[in-house]
Chains A and B, each alone.
Chain A
Amino acid sequence: MKWSIPEDRQYTDEHEWLQVDEKEDTRIVGITDYAQDKLGDVVFIELPASGQTVSLGQSLAVVESVKAVVDVYSPVTGEILRVNQELTEKPELLNEDPYGKGWIAAIKAGDPIQTAKLLTAQGYANLITDLEKEEI
């Protein structure tokens, strides 16, 4: 596959990834390699404020590329503990390192935990294989 899909995290069908940080009991959220590739060069990101609560499916951030402006939906309900402020100065990190330095926010999940339908790396790989097939 052309796009990287690390095994150590889960995915939504809206092309966000979510990784559980056991130590901190938080969920780190970002966009997938496939998403950044389809968007093209990211030029701006509007980030939420930390401390804010966010509901599942609500817009967490707005990403603007040379091609489009899209919402990043929160895959989990909870309190935003930290946001990646570095993205404000360097939105290109979303393109260069979507699974690492391009993380968007760390969210402390509420109780009970509410998340979007999450896919495994394999499940997400199947999804984008299907998406690409449809396009032919």
Chain B
Amino acid sequence: MNAAFPLIFEKDRPGRKGFSLPPCDVPLKPLEELLPQECLRKSRLDLPRLSEVDVVRHYTALSRRNYGVDSGFYPLGSCTMKYNPKINEDVAALAGFASIHPLQGDPTYQGALELLYNMEQCLKEITGMERYSFQTVAGAHGELTGLLIILAYHRSRGEKRNRVLIPDSAHGTNPATVTMTGCEVLQLPSNDKGLVDTATLKAHLDEKTAALMLTNPNTLGLFEKDILEISRLVHEAGGLLYYDGANLNAIMGHCRPGDMGFDVVHLNLHKTFSTPHGSGGPGSGPLGVTARLESFLPYPVTAKDGDRFFLDYQRPRSIGKVHSFFGNFGVVVKAYTYIRMMGARGLKQASDDAVLNANYLLNCLKDIYHVPYRGPCKHEFVLSAKLQKKRGAGAGDIAKALLDYGLHPPTVYFPLIVEEALMIEPTETENKETLDHFVEALKEIAAEIETDPVKIKGAPYSTPVRRLDEVLAARKPVVRWKKEP
């Protein structure tokens, strides 16, 4: 790849530059007089030397090899890669939001605080929680903070609980979070319908249970219909319920985690609320809690006194700070714009359409790929390519073959409880033609595997680079460019 596409460092030429400075109008002083010895660089900084047009062409060429929601369909399961409306960017770029600094003082950015305050009211209404913190900047960050709050709550009651129950279909971040807090993970096997089994759950609850972490709908795209019974059982055992908001896009306006009995909720604004996601980030994972956990939230929280908005630092029971200031404020501005543009009915419609699109795809594909857990599904579903795998090309190969259709592949090999998993989430923003194109592609690939699996194993054929050696990259990662001596 390097031969065809040199790194910007490899385009370095001595003497080339993209700037010209005016003559210096103050007396020159040697650096040694201005900086202490230990701050002086001994060797050249080695930044690449290029002209402006070289730099522009380099990055433009790179950007043309990129693929995003603006270029095409992106059915990456569990990631909710919905279209990000451009008005979000317009609003976030307003000087009153983009050019302020948290240290300039409350009175000078009342508008920004009002936006945070209003956003909190929106999220409370959508999820049925009592209060939110915006310091958490990603889903896993929310999980960690939420679990620390749950543990602080138990400690405040003089209880030592250190076991967290997680279904085997859960996101990998859930058990990782539990391990980070020093607690113990207890994995709950799903039943044959792909759901939490209340009898199994009951058998695992005891005085050590700190919490149950759950997504609803779960990672298989199925609604945990026994959720009220589940939350009753966990609460009776003295545990709390954590809601991983990764799949909120399926249920907005229909039901609320708070009403299901959840005590702590994180949302992924970069999923459900249409802010850039993945490498296009940064993310935002606001954390909501019920009234009894409110005092443990990270400080400061936004508060209102009459007409004045302020940052409340007087939080003696708070678990502390988990990020500087307000996390990624600009992301909150974009998500708030989205919520206000959509309105309550619009958000409900978004969930309706996300579920409709997923069920349409599931029905179009169910006779070609194995369906391990029958629908109807919510906003996403999981197929298994194990029949195709037996013919010689599996989920990973199908993902690569989709690239030749100009489509982003779905999530593969996850959740772990489905062999050769293809996890598909179309989102509400795709039209029928796009969905049909995706179905046709998956049908053609399946047909090709019947006759010529070797061809699919060799895919992709039309991309700038062919199949990369993922194994070598994982075993012997080269994460940094080094100048050859």
CB within 8 Å of B: which residues of A?
Answer: 38, 41, 43-44, 64, 66-70, 91-92, 135
Within 8 A of A (CB), among B449-480: 470-471, 474-475
CB atoms of A91 and B413 under 8 A apart: no
A71: min CB distance to chain B, Å: 10
Contact assessment for B475 and A92 in the assembled complex, using a CB-CB cutoff below 8 Å:
yes
A90 to chain B, nearest CB (A): 9
Using known A-B contacts A135-B386, A135-B419, determine if residue A67 contacts B413 with beta carbons closer than 8 Å: yes
Of B396, B416, B474, which is within 8 A of A68 by CB? B416
A41-B471, A91-B475 are known; give 12 further A-B pairs, CB within 8 A.
A43-B471, A43-B475, A44-B475, A66-B396, A67-B396, A68-B413, A68-B416, A69-B172, A70-B416, A92-B475, A135-B386, A135-B419
Take A135-B386, A135-B419 as given contacts and tell me if A66 and B474 are in contact as well, using a CB distance cutoff of 8 Å.
Answer: yes
Q: Restricting to B421-468, which residues have a CB under 8 Å from any CB of A?
A: none
Given known contacts A43-B475, A135-B419, A66 and B470 CB-to-CB distance under 8 angstroms: yes
* Chain B interface mostly: helix
Q: Are A44 and B474 in contact (CB under 8 A)?
A: yes
Residue from B172, B419, B470, B471 with most neighbouring chain A CB atoms (10 Å) = B471
* Residues of A with C-beta under 8 A to B413: 67-68
Which residue of the partner chain B has the closest CB to A41?
Answer: B471
Min CB distance A16 to B, Å, is 17
- Interface size of B by CB at 8 A reads 10
CB distance from B114 to the nearest CB of A (A): 44
Asked whether A66 lies within 8 Å of B416 as measured between CB atoms, the reply is no
Q: B residues within 8 A CB of A69?
A: 172
Instruction: Check if B172 sits within 8 Å of A66, measured CB to CB.
Output: no
Q: Mark B377-418, 1 if CB is under 8 A from A, else 0.
A: 000000000100000000010000000000000000100100
**Min CB–CB distance A54 → chain B (angstroms):** 16
The residues of B that contact A41 with a CB separation of less than 8 Å are 471
* A135–B386 alpha-carbon span in the complex (Å): 8
Q: Report 18 cross-chain contacts, Cβ distance below 8 Å, ordered by A residue.
A: A38-B419, A43-B474, A43-B475, A44-B474, A44-B475, A64-B474, A66-B396, A66-B471, A66-B474, A67-B396, A67-B413, A68-B413, A68-B416, A70-B416, A91-B475, A92-B475, A135-B386, A135-B419
Q: How many whole Å from B459's CB to the nearest CB in chain A?
A: 17
Nearest CB of chain A from residue B3's CB, rounded to whole Å = 26
**How distant is A15 from chain B, measured CB to nearest CB, in Å?**
14
Give the residue among A38, A44, A66, A67 with the most B Cβ atoms within 10 A: A67
The smallest beta-carbon distance between B471 and chain A, in angstroms, is: 4
> Inside 8 A of A44's CB, which chain B residues have their CB?
474-475
Report B-chain residues with C-beta under 8 Å of the C-beta of A67: 396, 413
CA distance A70 to B416 in the complex (A): 10
Q: B470 — which chain A residues lie within 8 A by C-beta?
A: 66
Bound form: Cα–Cα A69–B172 in Å = 9
**Within 8 Å CB of B471, what residues of A?**
41, 43, 66
* A residues near B419, Cβ cutoff 8 Å: 38, 135
Q: Say how far B394's CB is from chain A's closest CB, in angstroms.
A: 9
A90 closest partner in B (C-beta): B475
A72 to chain B, nearest CB (A): 15
The residue on A at minimum CB distance from B471 is A41
Q: Most chain-B Cβ atoms within 10 A of its Cβ — which of A38, A43, A44, A91?
A: A43
